[in-house]
Amino acid sequence: MNRAVNPRDLNVHHDDGVAKGDVLLEVKDVSLRFGGVKAITKISFDVRKGEIRAIIGPNGAGKTSMLNVINGFYTPQEGTITFRGVERRAMRTTDAARQGIARTFQNIALFKGMTTLDNIMTGRITLQKSNIFAQAIWRGPALREELEHRHRVEEIIDFLEIQHIRKVPVGRLPYGLQKRVELGRALAAEPALLLLDEPMAGMNLEEKEDMSRFILDVNSQFGTTIALIEHDMGVVMDISDRVVVLDYGRKIGDGSPDEVSKNQDVIDAYLGVPHE
Amino acid sequence: MSPAFLYFLETVLNGLMTGVMYSLVALGFVLIFKASGIFNFAQGVMALFAALTLVGLQTGQVPFSHLINAIFGTEFHHFGWTLPAFVAVVGTLVVMVAFAYLFEKLVLKHLVNQEPIILFMATIGLAYFLEGFGDLMWGADIKALDIGIPSGGSFWLEDVTREWATEGSDYFGMYIDKLDVVAALVAVALVLVLTLFSQYTATGRALRAVADDHQAAMSVGISLRNIWVIVWSIAGFVALVAGIMWGAKSGVQFSLSLIALKALPVLILGGFTSIPGAIVGGLIIGVGEKLAELYVGPFVGGAIENWFAYVVALVFLLFRPQGLFGEKIIERV
């Protein structure tokens, strides 16, 4: 995708004062409980700018809860989250989105009645500046802004190769394409940190390969930092730079794919420990 | 043309016009239900309150005058001015937006993520509050609402249609209230504007997104609370339009809040989530009850109009609970 030189086109979120390779997101001693149920217990890890960070673990390990904490759906009881140098615990989801955290969902949360184009356009809401009255009269700066956003969205549509379904309500699309549209909506926000919750769940091999390619391209072409949850170990080992492993809400491993796959705790968690 | 056919035509036309009036109220329900899943019991009272405020501002009534006079022993009822209709309408609009903002701030905000039934109860509370508040603010007497909308029958139409009737028949021409025609035009314009707004603006997209999936909407950075203020403001605007039309037709009186009950069968027919549904549902109910009154009424002693709509709604519930245009209800077990 070609980048225009026009400064208005520059990615506002990427210019966040964090150099590539430095810590973009730091999760420190975070604990999350639902009543008496401990979903996450004292987990710490970081995500560096420009990397693909995988979060893996068996079912119920607390992976999705972790993402929900990062993007503000859940407020942890303990611990802090530092994003782009700003420390916080409680945060509204809208504010997280405004700071440049975009995400996809395990069970696809698209706006089913809306077209692919409209869905991806909603991704740019945090970048929209004109107010409701200006939009209502549909002129001047508001119109220009709308067209500009539309232009960017078309680029994303081209990038994800979904031109043919631009005007189709997403509720009618097959699962694999819906996943792709959801990725498109997250990308439209030009996020500093992209959270993907099982981007390849339920896909066939071909769809998985496509999705892996898109994730790698997003990372290399746009320089977007990605944190993803995935069950397919082959995929995780192939595309991620570093892996953090959770089990029963605790961190049991952290490191490069190679290191993690040799970690005895991780092997035990996945394969089980024989009774003695 | 035979007089019988002309009577039929007149009844259908009048039915369509009445239907539009029902649609205006139903529209307010649909807007809020779509965006937040709340069935707003107070929509009728909002229309009443808007009409009261409009008349009050226009005629220069002092708000809370009874209360003020009772406390301070003054006799202060009117500012002594008459505002132009346009200024009064804009003023009322400001009041409705302020109302939406306060309702979000004081009530909805504290009920986020509650069951729909709880939010429904809150709107019942709102209905009673607003009725009492309107009474306190503007007084309970019946007021005439006149912002210069033409009303009364059209002589031109009467003359033209009398010509159509067969020679020597006792048909005196069609009676159609000009006010009803204006209401129909306003309703069409309103739907057009709302549709364009929701289809082609960023805020409209956000509204549709929230209607579709709250969580996903939040994740892309849409603030639910802002959206709710906007939705309730728009519903307040629609209530104002309905209040103007009904107020001009039958005077601004507290029974106006009961028109909300007539909107229920309209919603059941049209579907709670469809704006075109609210219009078509209103038209069907309007025409249906007028025709039933004309043809079935004489056999059962008349007054069918009062209950016909509810029977239609009941029958509809049996066969198509989601309404004509509502989203199909699919439950996965």
- For A100-149, the pLDDT digits (tens) are 999 999 888 999 888 999 999 999 988 877 777 777 776 677 888 888 99
Tell me the pLDDT of chain B averaged across its residues.
87
- Residue B239 is predicted with a pLDDT of 93
Contact B234, B281 (CB under 8 A): no
Judge: B221–A189 Cβ closer than 8 Å, yes or no: yes
Identify which of B213, B222, B224 has the shortest CB distance to residue A125: B222
pLDDT at B163 over 50: yes
Q: Does A138 touch chain B (CB under 8 A)?
A: yes
Q: Which of A93, A102, A125 sits opposite B202 (nearest CB)?
A: A125
Mean pLDDT of B210-230: 88
Q: Is A185 on the interface with B (CB under 8 A)?
A: yes
> Is the distance from CB of A32 to CB of A80 less than 8 angstroms?
no
Conformation bin of residue B37: beta by default, left when phi > 0, alpha when psi is -120 to 50: left
Is A65 near chain B, with CB under 8 Å? Answer: no
Arithmetic mean of pLDDT, A9-13: 42
Shortest CA distance to B244 belongs to which of B133, B127, B96, B103? Answer: B96
CA A220 to the chain's CA centroid: 15
- Contacts of residue B325 in chain A, CB cutoff 8 Å? none
Helices (H) and strands (E) in chain B, counts: 14, 0
On whether ipTM exceeds 0.85, the answer is no
Instruction: Tell whether pTM > 0.90.
Output: no
Confidence (pLDDT) at B87: 92
CA distance B136 to A59: 59
DSSP code for B328: P
Q: Which residue has the higher pLDDT, A51 or A94?
A: A51
Q: Three-state DSSP class for A40?
A: strand
Residue A83 contacts residue A58 (beta carbons within 8 Å): no
CA dihedral B154, B160, B166, B172 (to 10 degrees): 20
Mean pLDDT, residues B19-47: 87
Distance, in angstroms, between A11 CA and closest chain B CA?
A: 16
User: In the prediction, which pLDDT does B329 show?
Assistant: 58
pLDDT band at residue B327 under the 50/70/90 scheme: low
Please tell me which of the candidates B212, B219, B222 has its beta carbon nearest to residue A103: B219
As a whole number of angstroms, the distance between CA B87 and CA B59 comes to 12
